[in-house]
């Protein structure tokens, strides 16, 4: 079932999508975006700032599902660096913040891909360090 996106949601997502598009197909080592080390997860972090389903439903059921995944593993997502360029955005801290208000995860395949990989591996019982290595291998360093 395809859902339609309203004009306001489209206009809000456009600058973030453009930023993500700039990074696609270009290696991060070429200096497109500087990637920092993976951050340490904050003690007691939770998923309460992850946007609710209603806020991202215009982007489709798959996006809603990914936001739900991140809400389940905030301590993992808060310990992962995002490779798409989010780090250049104000108030960026970790993959978890890509899923907060102003984050670009709703329209970014890299943010979404990292979250799905992290979620799947976390559900398998893998450690944060092992999940980080998988993300590094798949998305770049």
Domain map (residue ranges) of the chain: 7-139
- pLDDT reported for residue 131: 97
Helix H, strand E, coil C: the string for the chain is CCCCCCHHHHHHHHHHHHHHHHHCCCCHHHCCCCCCCCCCCCCCCCCCCCCCHHHHHHHCHHHHHHHHHHHHCHHHHCCCCCCCCHHHCCCCCCHHHHHCCCCCHHHCHHHHHHHHHHHHHHHCCCCHHHHHHHHHHHHCC
**Residue 7: is its pLDDT beyond 80?**
no
Decide which of 24 and 102 is more confident. Answer: 102
For residue 51, pLDDT beyond 70: yes
Position 33 scores a pLDDT of 46
Q: How much is the pTM?
A: 0.74
Pairwise CA distance, residues 23 & 137, whole Å: 17
What is the model's pLDDT at position 6?
A: 62
For residue 107, name the pLDDT band (cuts at 50, 70, 90).
very high
């Amino acid at each position: 079932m395809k859902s339609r996106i309203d004009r306001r949601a489209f206009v809000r997502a456009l600058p973030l999508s453009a930023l993500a598009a700039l990074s696609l197909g270009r290696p991060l080592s070429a200096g497109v975006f500087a990637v920092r080390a993976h951050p340490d997860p904050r003690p007691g972090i939770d998923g309460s700032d992850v946007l609710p389903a209603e806020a991202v439903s215009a982007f489709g059921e798959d996006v809603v599902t990914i936001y739900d995944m991140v809400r389940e593993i905030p301590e993992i997502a808060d310990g992962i660096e995002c490779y798409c360029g989010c780090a250049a955005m104000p108030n960026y801290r970790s993959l978890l913040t890509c899923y907060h208000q102003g984050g670009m995860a709703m329209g970014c395949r890299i943010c979404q891909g990292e979250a799905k990989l992290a979620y799947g591996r976390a559900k398998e019982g893998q450690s944060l360090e092992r999940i980080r290595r998988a993300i590094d291998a798949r998305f770049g360093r």
